[in-house]
């Protein structure tokens, strides 16, 4: 089988040429040598001709430096481009747009290095640096990075240590709403012809609260209307009913969670229930968020209600399925954004 020498590195190519020349000079036929090496038949004759020149010999077969257009940016400048983009925002460099584009990178390279590059060349540069175009996650600008870091490095480890000492369980709590007329996801259709999805004419909505534990335990309840402090207390009582171990409950900063009567109820449990509030605008720190993501990606939202079917019943059925699947519940804690939980 013939070998494509162009796929070999330069040092290997040079060694093949020198070996072929040596074997021919020792008496082998060029056709036999080139066949045994698996190279193209005409290649060896070019090598022999190059080596036959006066005073050249095997030196004529040495590899030469690669030719081609020189790089516009030095390695140090390329590393600087990577540092600009990695984890940063164009607005930090005085630009008006919050997303990195090839044109914006080209503009910044021109401003900083005085080097003009086309968007195609910039695209090759970024790919070579291990960067790719991606849809960014959205995050509220009110989010306090320092508060998030304190939660991950100090607050939650303290909660985990206290729970371990008292033999308590840690649960993460969240709520979500469901509507029968909501359509999640996309469907294929002819360009320019928006497809029509049939849905129940009667609007149905239901809300649900759930709590997840890293060991796979799961609790849930459904309710109607907005969550009030009074309703929150009733849900907490349902969750705590029959529990033998204390619970450290971690919730978000919803106003209903922080009312005075909620605090009074928690104090009345005499340490059986302790509540902690996540940093503001940081839903990604709560693994219970993945419960709703899972439900809204699967049957609850994907399959329209059948005639006469109740949304509340379907939501409860799917929540029961989640409760029975401890492996699924544990998987909600595998996301990188909640890795701090397993670190404790």
Domain of residue 337, CATH code: 3.30.420.10
Q: What is the torsion angle, in degrees rounded to the nearest 10, for the CA atoms of residue 288, residue 242, residue 178 and residue 337?
A: 0
Same domain, 214 and 321: yes
Q: Which domain holds residue 51?
A: 5-61
Strands across the sheet with 247-251, in order?
218-223, 205-212, 169-179, 247-251, 273-277
In this prediction the pTM is 0.58
Secondary structure class of 201 (helix, strand, coil) = coil
Same domain, 168 and 256: yes
Same domain, 270 and 233: yes
Q: What is the pLDDT of residue 329?
A: 96
Secondary structure class of 176 (helix, strand, coil) = strand
Same domain, 279 and 328: yes
Q: What is the pLDDT of residue 189?
A: 44
Secondary structure class of 189 (helix, strand, coil) = coil
- Position of tokens 């077969």? 61
Q: Of 158-162, 209-213, 241-245, 311-315, give the lowest mean pLDDT range.
A: 311-315
* High-pLDDT (> 70) share of the chain, %: 78
Residue 193 covered by a domain: no
Q: How many residues make up the chain in this entry?
A: 344
Average pLDDT of the segment spanning 320-344: 92
Average pLDDT of the segment spanning 96-120: 85
Same domain, 32 and 150: no
Cβ contacts of 95-103, under 8 Å, gap ≥ 24: 99/136, 102/126
pLDDT digits (tens, 9 = 90+) for 186-206: 545 445 656 555 555 557 889
Same domain, 39 and 97: no
* High-pLDDT (> 90) share of the chain, %: 41
158 — pLDDT class (breaks 50, 70, 90): very high
The answer to whether residue 3 scores a pLDDT higher than 60 is no
Same domain, 121 and 151: no
Alpha-carbon gap, residue 274 to 337, rounded angstroms: 24
Same domain, 210 and 243: yes
Same domain, 327 and 206: yes
Same domain, 12 and 101: no
Alpha-carbon gap, residue 21 to 61, rounded angstroms: 9
Kindly give the interhelix angle for 311-324 and 289-297, rounded to the nearest 10 degrees: 120
Alpha-carbon gap, residue 12 to 22, rounded angstroms: 15
pLDDT digits (tens, 9 = 90+) for 59-97: 666 666 555 566 788 888 998 888 888 867 777 777 666
Same domain, 89 and 54: no
pLDDT digits (tens, 9 = 90+) for 139-156: 555 678 899 999 999 999
Strand 247-251 versus strand 273-277 pairing type:
parallel
- Position of tokens 């040092």? 11
Q: Which two tokens stand for residue 213?
A: 């534990």
Average pLDDT of the segment spanning 313-330: 94
Query: Residue 239: which residues within 8 A CB-CB, separation 6 or more?
Result: 171, 211, 219, 221, 247
**Angle, alpha carbons 220-225-231 (nearest 5°):** 60
- Hey, which residues does 208 pair with through a beta bridge? 176, 222
344 — pLDDT class (breaks 50, 70, 90): low
Q: Count other Cβ atoms within 10 Å, centred on residue 152.
A: 20
pLDDT digits (tens, 9 = 90+) for 23-57: 778 778 877 777 777 777 677 777 777 777 655 66
Q: What is the pLDDT of residue 275?
A: 98
Total count of domains within the chain: 3
Same domain, 204 and 331: yes
pLDDT digits (tens, 9 = 90+) for 160-192: 999 999 999 999 999 999 887 654 455 454 456
Question: Which among 278, 277, 275, 290 is positioned nearest to 325, based on CA atoms?
Answer: 290
Average pLDDT of the segment spanning 7-14: 70
Residue 187 covered by a domain: no
Q: Of 25-39, 304-318, 328-342, give the lowest mean pLDDT range.
A: 25-39
């Amino acid at each position: 089988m013939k070998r494509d020498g162009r796929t070999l590195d330069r040092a290997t190519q040079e060694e093949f040429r020198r070996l072929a020349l040596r074997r021919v000079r020792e008496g082998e036929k060029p056709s036999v040598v080139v066949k045994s090496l698996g190279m193209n038949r005409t290649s060896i004759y070019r090598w022999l001709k190059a080596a036959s020149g006066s005073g050249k010999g095997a030196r004529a077969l040495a590899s030469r430096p690669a030719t081609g257009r020189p790089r516009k940016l030095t390695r140090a400048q390329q590393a600087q481009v990577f540092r600009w983009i990695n984890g940063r925002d164009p607005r930090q460099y005085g630009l008006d747009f919050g997303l990195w584009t090839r044109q914006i990178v080209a503009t910044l390279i021109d401003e900083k290095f005085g080097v003009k590059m086309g968007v195609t060349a910039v695209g090759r540069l970024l790919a070579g640096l291990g960067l790719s175009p991606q849809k960014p996650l959205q995050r509220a600008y009110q989010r306090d990075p320092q508060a998030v870091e304190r939660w991950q490095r100090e607050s939650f480890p303290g909660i985990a240590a206290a729970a371990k000492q008292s033999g308590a369980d840690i649960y993460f709590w969240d709520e979500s709403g469901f509507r029968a007329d909501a359509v999640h996801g996309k469907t294929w259709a002819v360009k320019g012809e928006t497809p029509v999805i049939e849905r129940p004419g009667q609007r149905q909505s239901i809300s649900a609260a759930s709590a997840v534990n890293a060991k796979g335990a799961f609790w849930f309840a459904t309710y109607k209307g907005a969550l009030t402090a009074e309703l929150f207390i009733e849900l907490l009582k349902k969750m705590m009913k029959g529990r033998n171990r204390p619970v450290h409950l971690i919730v978000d900063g919803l106003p209903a969670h922080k009312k005075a009567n909620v605090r009074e109820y928690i104090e009345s449990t005499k340490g059986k229930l302790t509540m902690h509030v996540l940093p503001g605008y940081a839903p990604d720190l709560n693994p219970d968020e993945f419960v709703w993501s899972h439900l809204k990606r699967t049957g609850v939202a994907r399959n329209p209600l059948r005639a006469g079917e109740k949304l509340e019943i379907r939501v409860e059925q799917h929540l029961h399925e989640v409760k029975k699947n401890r492996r699924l519940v544990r998987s909600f804690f595998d996301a990188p954004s909640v890795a701090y939980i397993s670190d404790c």
